Chains A and B, each alone.
Chain A
Amino acid sequence: MISTAQILYITSFALIVIGLYAVLSQRNLIRVVIGLNIADVGINLLLVTIGYVEGGRVPIFAAGQSAGTMVDPVPQALVLTAIVIGFGVTALMLTLVMRIYAHHGTVDASRLRGLKW
């Protein structure tokens, strides 16, 4: 019997591994950035999964409603922060890729080796 949490954990780590694999193997800088984003998504899923409770409800109180079972609100707050940070980094990275393309005329990582040794 596979539990919901198991599925979510496996999925999230699969996403992280796929994302990192992309960073390791892709020469195209845009793909590297995408890989990092996939890994980001995986982590966000991981965080939310950790806060998941069987049958849990959104942690928002509404009028005339008892607390009942709520999912953990802390990871959700963390995910919110992580998403925004991820957005910031991604925006910066993509701008940089554009500048690199404008400057070197390529987004091929193996040709981007002006600095080495």
Chain B
Amino acid sequence: MYTQALLLLPLVGFGVAFLLQGTVKRSPAIVKTWAMLGFAAIAAVAALAGAEIGTLYEGPTVFGSVLTYGLTDLSWWFVLLIAGITALTTVFTLGSLRYADDYPMYYAWLFAKVFGMIGLVMSRDLLSFFIMWEIMSWATYLVMQQGRDESRKAAQGYLVYAISAGMILLGGVVFLRTASGSFEFAVITKFVAGADLGVIITAIVLVLVPFLIEAAVYPTHGWLPSAYASSETTMTAYLSSISTRMGLFGLILFVFNVFGLDVIDRIGISAHLNLRTLLLVLAALTAVLPTYTALFQHDAKRLLTWHSIGQGGYMLLGLATASTLGTAGGLMHIFNYMTYVALIIFSIAAVEYRTGTTNLNKLGGLITRQPVAFLGMLFGIIGLAGIPPMNGFVSKWFIYRSLILGGYPFVALAAFIATVGTIMSVYKLIHNTFLGQLPERYNEVREVGWVMQLPIWVLMAVVFATGVFPGTILQWIARIQVELGIAPIAYTLGGVAQEAGDLNMMVITLVFTLTFIVGAVIFFMGGKRRIVSQYDNYAAGHFLNKDVPYNFNYNFYSAFDHIFEKLYHAAPVQSTERNLGRLVATVGEYIRRFFTGQINTYAAYYVAAVIIALAFLKEVL
């Protein structure tokens, strides 16, 4: 009942938004309100649908098999995340979106995307999974390509990756269907368990590679930064927070449920060098490299999109350990990352709404002008950097611990290195936006309206609350773990209790708060502070005035940049990707020469074809 509604509502929303498109120019508010109500309804239904976990529904019959869908614990979790973040995003767009001129189809495509994602996580057979996967890819493309010219270009890049992924997946679907004779997950599981190693490897490669591409796991992440960064800013938040995780959902579903862990572990040279090791290595690379690439970015959105790749690496790290703690960390990190990245980007969007730019070299000092946005970003980056008491700390702690306990010290080291990079880059982010010198042109900047503040406040509360009381989230995680066939995590309200050391966030938060209070007391009691004009100041040995800008804003990490610049520009992945594109174009160019336009040549092809065909048949006879 609610399950059907979950699929139906986005479709209805899409239809209405599509039809309302004609009225966009005259009254954008109508469409915005409609969309917000629609997404709120979806979120409400998503919450209610929890009652229907485990029930299977049958859809239309295609190719002689029934499309099945239904909710599991895992998919309900994802449905909640999707519905929640969409609703929040839509509320934010009520204020922020310059809708009518640049984005006439914004909400229609968004509804389509939500339909695709919800459909994807609710699919209970391979065919409907693939159909929804494709709908989601196309809708993502449509969402991305709106607006400016550069976003269309970047979206084209995404499309190439997404369609390649889709076609590989289609190959996998056809292969599994042919081999197992069915689209049903249960049949496939049984078939794979008894299949030859060659068949398993083919199936796994064909099915998992698309997920790795969609999850932007190194080295298939090339599409993500431009595509996300050039989208409309709230859409960047939306895409970074949930869209990329659909690939991860596919991985979880197929690795744990459809193929099964033991089948996955059969692939490899030894017990320690197997497919999971490969995944761990890829995940570590994904966590480290993009994080340091982020340091070089001068655009707030682009900086964060690199983090959405890197944080995906963390999630994969946790999941690939396949241990209780690791999967809990991975699954929780999906939620945590979603909340704080949305928070950060909303803050950036709030800044962009007032200043019109996200260029880190041009912003600065906005803390006095947009305090709410500052607070939002502060909460967000504390979470992103994995510092208590925000929720990012909990999941990262799980992941580190699982890596150490699972016997992956080098991977754990990589994770730590990545965290250093994260902290460095988020500091750049908040410093260049809110701290330092306020450029004169932003003197008149005000805080955004309450509609846009609302999602920021909500997310701040969530980031903090789930940080202090991770047990609220962990109870769902434990249920999902049972479903995935992993021993559920022994959670408490404040964290976990286990023999190898437990975690209680409530205590940590208490300590933190006390320390903070002590520090504040010392600060306010002891020091004499004086508020001066920003030009009555000095930095790095020289005084600041209107003509001498606070030059740390430019080349924030210039020394660091100087050391690693060469490495960054080598960017092996991008050049491989470019070369691949060039190769296809060149080969295409040569093949085109086949059509010479010369009638004698064409006639010669003709006779040659006849001769070759005759030779072929003569061989066969």
The reply to whether B599 and A112 contact each other, CB–CB distance below 8 Å, is yes
Pick the interface stretch among B189-197, B384-392, B588-596.
Answer: B588-596
Q: Would you give the 0/1 interface string for A29-41, flagging 1 where the beta carbon is closer than 8 Å to chain B?
A: 1001000000000
Q: Is A20 part of the contact surface with B, judged by Cβ < 8 Å?
A: yes
Per-residue CB proximity of B398-414 to A under 8 Å, as 1/0? 00000000000000000
- List of B residues within 8 angstroms of A24 by Cβ: 600, 603-604, 607
Closest Cβ of chain B: how far from A96's Cβ, in Å? 12
Q: Are A27 and B597 in contact (CB under 8 A)?
A: no
A112 to B601, CA, bound (A): 12
Q: Tell me if B61 counts as interface (CB < 8 A to partner A).
A: no
Contact of B593 with A117 in the complex, beta carbons under 8 Å: yes
Interface residues on A, range: 10 to 19
Q: Pick from B598, B603, B607: contact of A110, CB below 8 A.
A: B598
A26: chain B residues within 8 A (beta carbon): 600
Contact among A20, A27, A114 with B607 in the assembled complex (CB-CB below 8 Å): A20
Which residues of chain B have C-beta atoms less than 8 A from A25's C-beta?
A: 600
Known: A20-B607, A24-B607. A117 touches B595 (CB 8 A): yes
Q: How far is the CA of A26 from the CA of B593 in the complex (A)?
A: 21
Chain B residues 78-135 with CB under 8 Å of chain A are none
With a cutoff of 8 Å between Cβ atoms, the chain A residues found around residue B599 in the complex are: 29, 32, 109, 112
A116: which B residues are within 8 A, CB to CB?
Answer: 595-598
* B 578-620 binary contact with A (CB < 8 Å = 1; else 0): 0000000000000011011111100110010000000000000
User: How many interface contacts (CB-CB < 8 Å) are there between A and B?
Assistant: 35
**Closest CB-CB distance, B592 to chain A, in whole Å?**
4
Chain B CB within 8 A of A113 CB: yes
- Contact, CB under 8 Å: A115 / B600: no
Given contacts A20-B607, A24-B607, contact A109 B600 (CB under 8 A): yes
| Binary flags per residue of A98-117, CB closer than 8 Å to B gives 1, else 0 | 00000000000110111111
With A20-B603, A23-B603, A24-B603 known to touch, is A109 a contact of B598 (CB < 8 Å)? yes
CB closest residue in chain A, given B596: A116
Could you tell me if A117 and B600 are in contact, using CB atoms closer than 8 angstroms? no
The A8-64 residues at the B interface (CB cut-off 8 A) are 20, 23-27, 29, 32
In the assembled complex, the Cα of A26 lies from the Cα of B186 at a distance in Å of 66
B604: A residues at CB distance < 8 A = 24
Q: Give Cα A32–Cα B604 distance, bound, in whole angstroms.
A: 13
CB neighbours of B596 from chain A (8 A):
113, 116-117
Complex CA–CA separation, A20 to B603 (angstroms): 8
Q: Name A114's closest neighbour in chain B (CB-CB).
A: B597
* B28-79 interface (Cβ within 8 A of A): none
**Chain A residues, Cβ within 8 Å of B593:** 117
Q: Which residues of B contact A23 (CB under 8 A)?
A: 600, 603
CB closest residue in chain B, given A25: B600
Query: Chain B nearest CB: distance from A19 CB in Å?
Result: 11
Query: Nearest Cβ distance between residue B92 and chain A, in whole angstroms?
Result: 50
Bound: A114/B593 CA distance, A: 14
Least Cβ–Cβ distance between B254 and chain A, in angstroms:
43
With A and B bound together, what is the CA distance between A116 and B600 in angstroms? 13
Docked-complex contact B603 and A113, CB < 8 angstroms: no
A98 shortest CB reach to chain B, Å: 17
A110 to chain B, nearest CB (A): 6
Bound Cα distance A88, B297 (Å):
71
| Residues in A neighbouring B607, C-beta threshold 8 A | 20, 24
- Distance in angstroms from A104 CB to nearest chain B CB is 13
CB <8 Å contact, B592 and A27: no
Q: Which chain A residue lies CB-closest to B591?
A: A117
Which among A24, A25, A32, A112 has the highest number of chain B CB atoms within 10 Å?
A24
Complex contacts, B598 vs chain A, CB 8 Å: 109-110, 113, 116
Q: How far is the CA of A2 from the CA of B197 in the complex (A)?
A: 66
Chain B residues within an 8 Å CB radius of A113: 596-598
Cβ contact within 8 Å between B603 and A117: no
Q: Which residues of chain B have C-beta atoms less than 8 A from A32's C-beta?
A: 599-600
Task: Output the residue of B596, B600, B604 with the most chain A CB within 10 A.
Answer: B600
User: How many angstroms between the C-alpha atoms of A27 and B604 in the bound complex?
Assistant: 13
- Inter-chain contacts of A112 with B (CB < 8 A): 597, 599
Give Cα A24–Cα B592 distance, bound, in whole angstroms: 21
Chain A, residues 73-117, CB within 8 Å of chain B (1/0): the string is: 000000000000000000000000000000000000110111111
| Chain A nearest Cβ from B251, distance in angstroms | 43
- Complex: how many Å from CA A78 to CA B597? 34
The distance from the CB of A115 to the nearest CB of chain B, in whole angstroms, is: 5
Q: Report the minimal beta-carbon distance from B609 to chain A, rounded to whole angstroms.
A: 13
Q: In chain B, residues 534-550, which have Cβ atoms closer than 8 Å to a Cβ of chain A?
A: none
Interface contact B600-A27, CB-CB below 8 Å:
yes
CB distance from A25 to the nearest CB of B (A): 7
**Which of chain B's residues has its CB closest to A26's CB?**
B600
Instruction: Decide if A115 touches B603 in the complex (CB within 8 Å).
Output: no
Contacts of B595 in A (CB 8 A): 116-117
- Residues of B that sit less than 8 Å from A by CB: 592-593, 595-600, 603-604, 607
A interface residues, Cβ below 8 angstroms from B: 20, 23-27, 29, 32, 109-110, 112-117
- 9 pairs, A vs B, C-beta closer than 8 Å: A20-B603, A23-B603, A24-B607, A112-B597, A112-B599, A113-B597, A116-B595, A116-B598, A117-B596
A32-B599, A112-B599 known, 16 other contacts, Cβ within 8 Å: A20-B603, A24-B604, A24-B607, A26-B600, A27-B600, A109-B600, A110-B600, A113-B596, A113-B598, A115-B597, A116-B595, A116-B598, A117-B592, A117-B593, A117-B596, A117-B597
> Which 7 pairs show the lowest CB-CB distances between chains A and B?
A116-B597, A113-B597, A117-B592, A23-B603, A109-B599, A24-B603, A24-B604
